[in-house]
Amino acid sequence: MKYKVAQIIPYFGSWPKWIELYFYSCGRNPMVDFIFYTNCPLPKHRYANTIFYQCTFEEYKKLVEVRLSLDYSIEKSYKLCDLKPFLGAVHEPELKEYDFWGFGDLDVVHGNLGMLVNDKMLTQYDFITTHAFRVAGHFTLCRNNEYY
C-alpha cells in the first residue's frame, strides 16, 4: 500500500477483559498502525503494527495542554473521547510520517479493514468513517494535511 495510516488511541486505567482479542484484530490489519498512549501494562502478545507509549494520565493531559496551548483539566480518563477530533493536532510530531491519521475505540473487533483502508479509497477520499452522515468514534481516518 502506498499510504501510511495510523490510529491514535489514548487509554488509561486498566485494559478491558477482551483486550487481547482487540489487539489480535489490530494485528490482523497491518495496513494500519495502532498507536496507544497508556498507563496499562504492555499486552502479552504485541504485533508489529501496535505501538505503545507508556505514560501516566497526568503526563498525557500535560502533553495535550502543551500541544494545544490550553488548560486541559479533565478528571476522568473516559473524557478523552471528547478529544478525538483534535488528536491529529495533539500528536502532529508523531504523525509526520503518516498520510492518514485517525481514532478508534477498544470495544470493537476489527474485521477486514482492507475493505476501507486501501489505495483506491485513500486516493479518492480525505475522510473515511463507518457512518454515512456523521463521524464514527469507533473508526475514523483523516488525510494528514493542513485541513485535518
pTM: 0.94
Contact call for residues 32 and 26 (beta carbons, < 8 A): yes
- Residue range 2-21, pLDDT digits in tens: 999 999 999 999 999 999 99
- Residue range 9-52, pLDDT digits in tens: 999 999 999 999 999 999 999 999 999 999 999 998 899 999 99
pLDDT at site 148? 67
Contact call for residues 110 and 25 (beta carbons, < 8 A): yes
Q: Is the pLDDT of residue 134 over 80?
A: no
Q: Which residue has the cell 497526568?
A: 58
At 132, the pLDDT band (50, 70, 90 cuts) reads confident
Contact call for residues 136 and 129 (beta carbons, < 8 A): yes
- What is 79-147 written as a DSSP string? GGGGGGGGHHHHTTGGGTT-SEEEEE-SS-----GGGTSSHHHHHH-SEEESSSSS--TTEEEEESSTT
